[in-house]
Structure 1
Amino acid sequence: MTLRDLKFLNPFQFPSLSFRFRVPNALVASQTAMFFVALCATFSMTGLAWAETGVTAKTILIGQSVSLTGPLASIGTDFSEGFKTYIDEVNRGGGVFGRQLRVVLMDDGYVAQRSLFNTEKMITEDGVFALAGNLGTGNVMAVLPLIADKRVPLFAPFTGADSLHRTPNRYLFTVMASYGNEIEKMVQHLTTTGITSIAVAYQNNPFGKEGLSGVQAAMKDRQLVPVALAPIETDARDAASAAQVIARVRPQAVIVATAGKATIEFVREFKKTGTSAQLLTWSVADTNLLVKQLGKEVDGMIVTQTMPSPFSVKLAVSREYRQLMKSADKDKHVGYASMTGFVSAKALVQALRLAGPDLNREKFISAVESAKAIDLGGFILRFAPEQHHGSSYVESTMIRSGGSQYVY
């Protein structure tokens, strides 16, 4: 077999083949070097060049585990619809450097073990390039060891857990403010207006307990403590008793650190007590569902948000979101959850473009770290090698009759 014969060998057809040459003189050594250059070029031209997992000449595969069923089904569905709307628009425009974005979407029902199972499957069996938008504090915490072990980026998870912000992780990037940022905004608002008697209803899981810790820390900074604490299970079976615990102390305000069904049922039961108190909750509480389920009962409730208003035309990103959601006939999903999904997808695409056409995971990570500022249309994310959390933006909204919201 000559060098000329070897030039056209496909090594994938002969996995046990090894190349061994004796180099008797400089001429043969030169020919050998030229052969390997030609061999690599041949593999590249025939599509046999080695590439990153989840990346081909035509596609980039992204994995996403969210709650499409269970107590956070409404939030997860809206988030995924917003995410998909932007991805579909990018694909219609030719993708990212000619590659179409494909999303492997799996339902975890807001169960951490299912999220871990889904994520492991997407990495080891489906071969995704990266993960994006995984939902839930406990769910994201469960997969952190896995993504570190497999060196797979998790971009824009739908959680503001402060524990994620405190613990450095090379493979994790967030695009929403922390729950601590939201809680600080609530406590600042209340104390500035003279309200100091504050109770806390919190979800009895890692997500809710982080909220409770945030409230306690923000109040401690002001020499205050909550006047009552009431845990609520995720399925809300104890919402009525939690409402009674808090109603008995007649607080001026109640911070509701819950999401999904737990929020709905607690607010419903608390309103039944007739207690006059300002209710406040945070961005993941699903305002759309609150209004749909409780109507005027939630009139005047304050909700902190970590995204630009989906109902405004002030920022370019909000205008783009409304236009694309309308074009996709997804008006029923318009709200902050789908806005979060939309912004997450837009940020992901920007990061992929910054990484360049020769895409791999390390280049993706380095591109985000060196981006400094990613402008998504008036909503700006800021990253650095030691700063993987791109936003601390929080605004307050208030629900009013008719289901609309305004910022103040």
Structure 2
Amino acid sequence: MRIARALLFGFLSWFGCVFAAEVGVTDNSVLIGMTAPFSGPNGAYGLDMKMVINAYFRQINDAGGIHGRRLELRALDDGYETERAVANTRTLINQEKVFALLASYGSSPTTAAMNEVFGVAKVPLVGAISGADSIRQSPRDNPKNRYMFNVRASYANETEAIVNQLVSLGFRNIAVLYQNDGFGKSGLDGVITALRKHNQAPLAVATVERNSVEVSQAVQTIAQVNPQAVIMVTLYKPTAAFVRAMRKTGQKPQFMTLSPVGADLLVQELGDEARGIGISQVMPYPWNDTTPLVREYQKLLGQNGKFSYYGVEAYAMAKVLIDAIRKAGKDLSRDKLLASLEGMQNHDLGGYRVSYSANERLGSHFVDLTVIGNSGRVLR
């Protein structure tokens, strides 16, 4: 009888341990999920991020992992399409059984994935290439936002910096080109709000569809008002198409755009025609090593690495997640990861800080203004 009881107790203890184990966590590994564009017009963005994250995970694993666990990345291609991003997020959580999510891409895809999938499943996502307000609400206002941890500044921060710079230089006739989705609309709202503070409004507003370079109507709308400056809330291919088409009409306004454009990709697309375009940035300058975060990133990629703002941002996102996992301790769970992330107040990643709390998900307010100079160099 005693033996039977002992066996039963042992079985129940084993049964409880098996089912108490956290999803995506074993004694030897932690599985992290990622959905981003790895193909299509914006595939270069996601590929850059995935390369950096994989390199950082290898570095961590080669040093023994985190509390003896290796990091594994499961990455799925969404082509910067909202429905695919939502489906991928559902697959990563329900089928791949990931512990947490990392480095989403795009405002509309991330917002939809949060509201429909990971916010419902209570799986944290660290970092998104998006400055939209929709993923920056306090968890008090939207409980699903509790599982979204932003690492970059908002589009409102970026557009305010751009508008303030233009107004300080005497520009008054400012037009806006925006992408017709969550990214573009959030940026447009930011421009309008920032201009209103200076008793101004956009001289003209035009739009381009996501994943499209059809800008002829936008060029016609904006060229006819002869603006002094155009703020473009667009990605690199439509930005390049619009700049070329505007210049063909004889228009030479000051072109300004936001960080998601990807400075290196815009230069690659436009060549010498990119010179003079201003870009707001939400990460430290990737081409010198004065910032510890950048110095680590450059060392990770090596002397022959191709440095970029997207690469630095992917590294910053991964560092936030890894620092939080390490701080959560060996007995890892999603609840402990959430508590660890929410305890990151003024957390220093190496000259770049993020801050969260139980009701704060903004992450950072850092914005820098740059301009493309001769030979495609990004200048501060």
Superposed displacement of residue 88, structure 1? 1.7
- Structure 2 residue aligned with 1:319: 295
- Structure 2 residue aligned with 1:265: 241
1:358 aligns with 2:361: no
Superposed displacement of residue 163, structure 1? 2.1
1:80-91 equivalences in 2 (<5 Å):
80-91=50-61
- State the Cα deviation string for residues 235-280 of structure 1 (Å, max 9, x = none): 3342133123212211111100011322221122222222121111
**Aligned with residue 107 of structure 1, among 77, 100, 110:** 77
- Matched-pair contact (CA < 8 Å) for 1:85–1:324: yes
Superposed displacement of residue 117, structure 1? 0.6
- Structure 1 residue aligned with 2:122: 151
- State the Cα deviation string for residues 160-186 of structure 1 (Å, max 9, x = none): 112221353111111000011000000
For 1:48 and 1:165, the matched residues in 2 are separated by: 36
For 1:195 and 1:214, the matched residues in 2 are separated by: 17
1:383 alignment partner, SS class: strand
- Matched-pair contact (CA < 8 Å) for 1:84–1:342: no
For 1:192 and 1:3, the matched residues in 2 are separated by: 85
Moved beyond 4 Å, runs of 4+: none
- State the Cα deviation string for residues 166-223 of structure 1 (Å, max 9, x = none): 3531111110000110000000101111111100001112211111111111111211
- Matched-pair contact (CA < 8 Å) for 2:274–2:376: no
CA change 1:384–1:167 in 2 (3 A) is closer
For 1:322 and 1:350, the matched residues in 2 are separated by: 19
**Number of residues paired by the alignment?**
374
For 1:398 and 1:251, the matched residues in 2 are separated by: 19
Structure 2 unmatched ranges of 5 or more: 140-144
My pick for the range that moved more, 339-348 or 268-277, is 268-277
1:378 alignment partner, SS class: coil
**Aligned with residue 129 of structure 1, among 83, 88, 99:** 99
My pick for the range that moved more, 94-103 or 366-375, is 366-375
1:60-99 equivalences in 2 (<5 Å):
60-99=30-69
- Matched-pair contact (CA < 8 Å) for 2:263–2:378: no
For 2:207 and 2:22, the matched residues in 1 are separated by: 45
AA aligned to 2:165 is H
- Structure 1 residue aligned with 2:199: 223
For 2:354 and 2:252, the matched residues in 1 are separated by: 39
AA aligned to 2:311 is S
For 2:31 and 2:175, the matched residues in 1 are separated by: 45
1:233 aligns with 2:209: yes
1:174 aligns with 2:173: no
- Matched-pair contact (CA < 8 Å) for 1:60–1:102: yes
- Matched-pair contact (CA < 8 Å) for 1:7–1:39: no
For 1:265 and 1:6, the matched residues in 2 are separated by: 75
For 2:147 and 2:238, the matched residues in 1 are separated by: 31
* Cα RMSD, aligned residues only: 1.8
Which protein has the larger Cα radius of gyration, Structure 1 or Structure 2? 1
For 2:333 and 2:301, the matched residues in 1 are separated by: 31
AA aligned to 1:174 is N
Of all paired residues, the percent bearing the same amino acid is: 37
AA aligned to 1:74 is A
- Structure 1 residue aligned with 2:376: 403
CA change 1:366–1:258 in 2 (3 A) is same
Superposed displacement of residue 43, structure 1? 6.9
**Aligned with residue 289 of structure 1, among 256, 265, 278:** 265
My pick for the range that moved more, 258-267 or 179-188, is 258-267
- Matched-pair contact (CA < 8 Å) for 2:341–2:356: yes
- Structure 2 residue aligned with 1:203: 179
1:5-84 equivalences in 2 (<5 Å):
5-9=4-8, 40=13, 48=18, 50-84=20-54
For 2:245 and 2:319, the matched residues in 1 are separated by: 38
1:332-371 equivalences in 2 (<5 Å):
332=306, 334-371=307-344
- Matched-pair contact (CA < 8 Å) for 2:138–2:361: no
**Aligned with residue 303 of structure 1, among 263, 276, 279:** 279
1:276 aligns with 2:261: no
Superposed displacement of residue 394, structure 1? 0.5
- State the Cα deviation string for residues 108-156 of structure 1 (Å, max 9, x = none): 0011000111110110011001111111111011111211221111111
- Matched-pair contact (CA < 8 Å) for 1:66–1:135: yes
AA aligned to 1:344 is M
- Structure 1 residue aligned with 2:353: 380
1:170 alignment partner, SS class: helix
CA change 1:7–1:326 in 2 (3 A) is same
AA aligned to 1:298 is A
- Matched-pair contact (CA < 8 Å) for 2:37–2:77: yes
Superposed displacement of residue 234, structure 1? 2.1
Superposed displacement of residue 323, structure 1? 1.4
- Structure 2 residue aligned with 1:17: none
AA aligned to 1:102 is E
- Matched-pair contact (CA < 8 Å) for 2:85–2:109: yes
My pick for the range that moved more, 189-198 or 83-92, is 83-92
For 2:215 and 2:203, the matched residues in 1 are separated by: 18
- Matched-pair contact (CA < 8 Å) for 1:234–1:261: no
- Matched-pair contact (CA < 8 Å) for 2:237–2:269: no
1:354 alignment partner, SS class: helix
Superposed displacement of residue 49, structure 1? 6.8
- State the Cα deviation string for residues 4-29 of structure 1 (Å, max 9, x = none): 234335xxxxxxxxxxxxxxxxxxxx
TM score, norm. by length of structure 1: 0.88
AA aligned to 1:340 is E
1:343 alignment partner, SS class: helix
For 2:247 and 2:58, the matched residues in 1 are separated by: 42
For 1:275 and 1:161, the matched residues in 2 are separated by: 30
2:201 alignment partner, SS class: coil
